Structure 1
Amino acid sequence: MLPEMTFRSAELPPADRFECWRALMSETHAPMDMRSECAADFWVNQRIVSLGEITVYPLECIPLTFLRTPKLIGRSDPEAYHLSLVKRGGGMVTLGKETVAHSAFSYHTSDTSRPFEIMTGRESFEIIGVEVPKALLPLPPRTASQIIGKHISARDGMGALLAMFLSQVTRDSHSYHPTDAPRLSSVLADLVASLFAGVLDADRSLTPETHRRTLALQIMAFIRNNADDPQLDVPAIAAAHHISVSYLHRLFQREGSGATVAAFLQQQRLARARRDLTDPLHQGVPVHAIAAQRGFSHASAFSRAFRDAYGMPPATFRRQFLGIERS
């Protein structure tokens, strides 16, 4: 499990909740002044997941205002970029003379070295926050600073890919080992840099390594989203990303999860088929039909692959899992 801390305001007396959480935020992120009309009966749930020097924190909270003033910056500056994936709710971010409105499925950004005011909406909100030290972002500071305060969508492109990554890491944080943190941190820094560069159309600023990692993540996401298509194969995957088959294989060998492209595609299909076979709602669906729905063109090939992966034929696996008596 990754190093993690949880703060639930309901576990404290009402009079202590707001001040305790404000102290925690100033300690784990950057000194901030926070205000809320509901401070006397404050409510917040927050997890702080450590990926080494990068911190990710899912947060649900009632309306409030965050203030980072010149005085607070002078007191302490961790020199980090902040990025929040807005999952529910909205608000306004003011940087200097500019104010940008944000809503669900977008990102808002700030810089601990610059004054800002973040005012949430009238309803409770939910975000996944990210604190990235400037020194870890593989992007020139002059380039990165231009993105701060801009509106960024999380609905498509790099924004959607980053949102998928943040949601998976925070949802499944217990399934990772502490030794995974450096790798996850590196991937996250690359994704944030690619998002920033893409918004500014500054891809030339990215290092070749960041380009390769980001492309590998995009291809894996593409395979996951299209694995059920029986026409999807290695040449089709390469063509969809405008690269050669040989480069696709080299990319996976260098940046992949240890599997070949074909093996990764088959793993996705098998995992989905296995899930269907364990679902009582699919009990009446023939095995060959499940195989076809999950991208396998031939039932016999599916049976062999399933047996190799899970140690028994799919029909036997289904009977044992669901406790079905052989008729």
Structure 2
Amino acid sequence: MPPTDRFEWFLETVSNEVMPLSLSSDRQDNFHADIHDVPLGPVTLSAFEFSPMRAWRSAKHIRQGDPEGYQLVLVTQGSLRVSQEGRETLVAGDFVLSDTSSPMLTECLSADGPIHALTLHIPRSVLPLSPRRLGPLLVHRLPIQEGTTAILAEFLRTLFGQAAHCGAEALLSMGSATVDLVTACFAQHLQSLNEAPVEARSQLVLQRIRHYIEHNLPDPDLSPRTIAERHNISLRTLYTLFDGEPASIAGVIRRRRLERCHDDLARPEMDHRTVQAIAARWGFTHPATFSRSFRETYGTTPTEHRAHARQHRRTDTTEQAQP
């Protein structure tokens, strides 16, 4: 962007893509800004680099648009002075947490060069900790020298650095892992993980189990018993965790395996593999059981689904070739 347009571009971009706010800077004539986003499914990681400035979010801004979440900022260069809910803190090199639903003032300070920050945008709905429970952490410096905060900081740095080498599916699974780490980090700062609400601990374990299932679908030995043993809980506790879920744990495993098979059978690069080989690839050891489950779920056999997908591809190719 031309130097004279950069500040307005940054204000417009942040207001439209993140949340409405106002900005001021004594370097508007030669403002510098750079933004990189990494979508992680339930959360988004953003790397910001910008010239010193002031940002404020009023009640009017909140009425104009509110993502209803939190921003966890890791300041990697420069410093931030954040004011919200009657609190104020100065952060350099550490984390600070803020709430998008409350008025806030942020001063971005740097003696020389731009400010650098990694910002994790976290919808309130994905955290198993209630807003009331998280209240004490808002506008509070979270040091990254040790414990879960140190792990989370290094994880986010590595994740941003390696995101370009990961596929969309891998980044989606990283989003679930990120929520787990953030929850553990917040819980530690709220005295200890054992003092977190029972519901929060249950949701954290449930998220870990779903993440484990997703990465072990090809294992034919994946079962409720092996999952319970892997997570050091009883089978009864495992079944209780899934009581309020739409499907039992066995149902989740079966559905995700069937979905992977359904996708593979329609992919042209998998045409050289037999139906039985694709089923085995995703943990089905009995062809008859796989075929019956597939038909009950999709209303067609695996072979018919594959044939339909091939016919659809041929039709698309023919139509594209026609003038």
TM-score (norm: length of structure 2)? 0.61
**2:201 maps to 1:207:** yes
Report the 3-state secondary structure (helix = DSSP H, G, I; strand = E; otherwise coil) of the residue aligned with 1:78.
coil
Partner residue, 1:39: 28
* 2:153 is equivalent to residue 166 of structure 1: no
Q: Which residue of 1 aligns with 2:63?
A: 74
The amino acid of 2:142's aligned partner reads I
State the secondary structure of the residue aligned to 2:137.
coil
User: Could you say which residue in structure 2 is the equivalent of 1:130?
Assistant: 120
Separation in 1, partners of 2:127, 2:55: 24
Question: Over the residues paired in the alignment, what is the CA RMSD in angstroms?
Answer: 2.6
Deviations along 1:127-176, one digit per CA (max 9) or x if unpaired, are 10110000011212211233111110112111111111111110001121
What is aligned with 2:139?
Answer: 149
Partner amino acid for 2:176? S
Q: Distance in 2 between matches of 1:114 and 1:54?
A: 20
Task: State the number of aligned residues.
Answer: 212
- The equivalent residue for 1:98 is 87
Contact 2:163 2:171 in 1 (8 A): no
Q: Provide the residue aligned with 1:57 in structure 2.
A: 46
Q: How far does residue 48 in structure 1 lie from its aligned partner after superposition?
A: 1.1
Q: Which residue of 1 aligns with 2:315?
A: none
CA shift in 2, pair 1:98/1:109, >3 Å? same
Identity %: 25
Assess, with a 3 A threshold, how the Cα gap between structure 1 residues 163 and 211 changes in structure 2: closer, same or farther: farther
Where does the alignment leave 5 or more consecutive residues of structure 1 unmatched?
1-11, 218-245, 255-327
Deviation at 1:86, TM superposition (A): 1.1
Deviations 1:91-111 (A, max 9, x none): 21111322111111x111111
8 Å contact kept, 1:85–1:154: no
Deviations 1:242-277 (A, max 9, x none): xxxx9998249x9xxxxxxxxxxxxxxxxxxxxxxx
Question: Is 2:4 the partner of 1:15?
Answer: yes
Structure 2's unaligned 5+ residue stretches are 212-225, 233-237, 239-323
Q: 1:30 to 1:183 in 2, by over 3 A?
A: same
Letter in 2 for 1:168: T
Equivalent residue in structure 2 for 1:250, among 230, 233, 248: 230
Within a 5 Å distance, the mapping from 1:216-227 to structure 2 comes to none
Residue 309 of structure 2 aligns with which residue?
none
Deviation (angstroms), 1:47: 0.6
CA distance in 2, matches of 1:213, 1:91: 32
Match of 1:188 in 2: 178
Distance 1:20 1:53, change over 3 A: farther
Return the index of the structure with the highest Cα Rg.
2
How many angstroms does 1:202 deviate by? 5.3
Cα deviation, 1:38-70, whole Å, max 9, x if unaligned, reads: 011101122111112411111222111111111
User: Following TM superposition, where does structure 1 have runs of at least 4 consecutive aligned residues deviating by more than 4 angstroms?
Assistant: 211-214, 246-249
**What code does the residue aligned with 1:250 have?**
R
SS of the residue aligned with 1:114? coil
State the TM-score, normalized to the length of structure 1.
0.60
In structure 1, distance between residues paired with 2:148 and 2:76: 16
- Which residue identity lines up with residue 36 of structure 1 in the other structure? S
SS in 2 for 1:153: coil
